[in-house]
Amino acid sequence: MKRIDKTFVVLGMVIAGFLTWYAGYSNSHTSSANLGWFTYVALCPSSIFLMLTENAKTAWEEALIIAVVVVSNGALYGAVCFTVREFMQTRTGT
């Protein structure tokens, strides 16, 4: 895994972490701006699984669900970066 792939993994995790935090913040502060569902699905497709936190019985279950969402979004960003990088390398012949 190259450095750029690792960078995109971290970027995906940061984006998922921020969107998860903002979703909780905007739910408890109704005067804050709503980003809209498309923003969440476009930037963090795995955020759809955050609906599972509504049925979580303990804080540990919520934390586990959020961790899975954040890590899976990082893996998705890394996989997309790797795929695009490999495609571009085969196209340019390097």
Q: Is the pLDDT of residue 93 over 80?
A: no
**pLDDT at position 24:** 86
**pLDDT at position 61:** 93
The helix (run of H) or strand (run of E) holding residue 88 is: helix 59-92
Q: Are 19 and 34 in contact (CB under 8 A)?
A: no
pTM for the full predicted model? 0.87
Residue 73 CA: distances (Å) to CA of 37, 54, 62, 94: 16, 20, 17, 29
Residue 1: burial class (beta carbons within 10 Å; 0-12, 13-18, 19+): exposed
Q: Are 13 and 73 in contact (CB under 8 A)?
A: yes
Query: Which amino acid, one-letter code, is at 19?
Result: L
Domain limits, the chain = 3-92
**pLDDT at position 72:** 97
**pLDDT at position 94:** 62
Residue 38: burial class (beta carbons within 10 Å; 0-12, 13-18, 19+): exposed
- pLDDT tens per residue, range 15-62: 999 999 998 888 888 888 888 889 999 999 998 898 888 888 999 999
